Structure 1
Amino acid sequence: MAKNVLLTGGSGFIGKYLTDILINNGFSVSVLSRSNKNNTDFITYYKWDLNRNYIDENAVLNADFIIHLAGEGIVEKRWTSRRKNDILESRIKPIELIYSVLQKNNKSLDAFVSASAVGIYGAETSDEICKENTAPANDFLGTTCQKWESTATKIKSLGIRTVKIRTGIVLGRNEGFLKKLLPGFKMGFGTILGSGAQFVPWIHIEDLCAVYLKAIQDEKLNGPYNATVLDNTTNETVSKTIAGLYGYSVWLPKVPAFVLKIVLGEMSIAILTGKRVSPEKIKNAGFRFQFEDLETALSNCIS
């Protein structure tokens, strides 16, 4: 029988791509959903409700692997105190529910793989190249990612191989980062945000899904891995490259940082800051990126 992979966040941008890749590689997929959905030949849906701390235990008990992708969007809404709590809890609660089922039933897994983010290195711009052993930051993004990863370590305490994928900006067709960015560029109004000097550690959706596939297939992988391309891309580079693909040069003035701070509040730091992040560790584990050139990656998403 095919090995079963249980996904949290399986109906999201990354989850939908990853589901197809897992199925194409011979896995069966289970997805935790808040609504009732009909099963297919390759996907089984189970109910859960984080607000009621409920999860159908069969989802966990029937899984060989679990990939945790669920979490409220970082830049979807202003960072009020309540929103910050939702961002954190939506990442931690699923792990705690899964942990309780595993522990209660003495259930083991071949591996538990959790999403994380390069935000663990902090919301600031510097020339530092961050590696997995770089000290975490103490700001909101840094502490959120630390707690996220720390909760995943509870799964490891059960003797289960645990991998944490620290993801950068994900590039995909009509989804994620580009879904909000491209409409303005399509109309010829693309511009640079803030100084434009902030680094944008990015990864193409196909490469990210390949990282997750490797994480469950390669028994040697343990702990955190950065999932980004290191090419010194900045916000200015991204803007000029996208505009070029649409056949024009950026002509509008930069959007001043203070304007973004007024419009977005504290959340603006996620847009106005960025560090370089090294993928050396995952490469040393044998992973090879399909997309390492920004223009090629963006062209693939736009065309």
Structure 2
Amino acid sequence: MQNILITGGSGLIGNSITKLLVHKGKEVAWLSRNPDKQEQKSFYWDPEKDILDQESLYWADGIIHLAGAGVADKRWTDSRKKEILDSRVKSSLLLFQELQKIKDKPKAFISSSAVGYYGIDTGEKLVFEGDPPGKDFLASVVKEWETATEKIQDLKIRTVLLRIGIVLSKDGGALPEILKPPVAAPLGDGKQYMSWIHIEDLSRMFVHALENPGLSGIYNAVGPVPVTNRGLTKKAAHFKGKPFIGVGVPGFALKIILGEMAEMVIGGNRVSSEKMEGTGFRYLYSDLNQALKQIFK
């Protein structure tokens, strides 16, 4: 597969995957609402208006689908919740609808999903791909998103869904947020699990899924060693050279600041990476110390 089309290419994960694919000698193009403004080769689409330049699908040997409004970017008002759901479901259905129309289809479709599928707080239980979905807002979003994406399989295109955990990177994601206050502190009691993955390993996982014809279906995209919120915050503060206090930010204070979204940071998931490791994927950063050392070097 030489030509790879990416949706959500300008985001944190999309940028990282683009660099990796280009480094491997692949041609990369993005689907974008503003193709003229991108430095990366781009084709036009607008899922809100049901528009997609079909030329992009003829061009692509494989598709990586990352598009979706940021879950933690804004407070969860009703309109924001609708945007979070629609941006994922509509974009997946648009791709399905347009792929139906073309004869020479791409060989593989690799889509992001999220560990939020299992529910906002699954406690200490280790969760696997076959476990049932949660009943909260995020779980229902992921369920609908996966249902829309899985339609691609009906077109005889090999489809992989990667349920992404907490992405560690200095350029975005959870780490800059955790370390934003002058003093780092756990959230709530700090005992909730965070199933983290280094951005490089996540990008390599998408490319692994793209290049290995044996992979299809759902895989957890997390590192092999989940840690508690307290453990992660303490170590991140250490590597960043920031003071850490062991007293957690109380749940009620988080609810005042974040509204309903607070449930997401007070809860957590301990997610298994066993299925992905069984495909021969090897981590560069399986150890949190190693990952943070690289990020803050």
Query: Normalised by the size of structure 1, how large is the TM-score?
Result: 0.94
Q: Secondary structure at the match of 1:46?
A: strand
1:1-303 pair list within 5 angstroms: 3-37=2-36, 43-184=40-181, 187=182, 189-247=183-241, 250-251=244-245, 253-303=247-297
Q: Is the 2:160–2:215 Cα contact (8 Å) retained in structure 1? A: yes
Amino acid in the other structure paired with 1:193: L
What amino acid sits opposite 1:89 in the alignment?
A: D
In 2 relative to 1, CA 4–244 (structure 1 residues): closer, same or farther, beyond 3 Å? same
The alignment's C-alpha RMSD in Å is 1.6
Q: How many residues get paired?
A: 297
1:201 maps to a residue whose letter is S
**Deviations 1:270-293 (Å, cap 9, x if unpaired)?**
101011100000100100111011
Gap regions ≥5 residues in structure 2: none
The DSSP-based 3-state class of the residue aligned with 2:180 is: helix
Q: How many angstroms apart in 1 are the aligned matches of 2:37 and 2:242? A: 46
Cα distance in 1, alignment partners of residues 196 and 253 from structure 2:
25
Report the secondary structure of 2:175's partner residue.
helix
How far, CA to CA, are the matches of 2:271 and 2:88 in structure 1? 22
Where 1:73 maps in the other structure, the secondary structure is coil
Which SS does the other structure have where 1:37 is aligned? helix
CA contact (8 A) 1:174 1:301 kept: no
1:137-192 CA distances to partner (integer Å, 9 max, x unpaired)? 121111111111111111000111000001000011222212322332xx4x1111
Q: Unpaired runs of 5+ in structure 1? A: none
Cα deviation 1:52-82 (Å, max 9, x = unaligned): 2111111112111010001111111111121
Identity of aligned residues (%): 40
Quote the Cα distance in structure 1 between the aligned partners of 2:224 and 2:115: 12
Distance 1:232 1:114, change over 3 A: closer
SS in 1 for 2:193: coil
Deviation at 1:8? 0.2
Change (3 A) 1:64 1:171: same
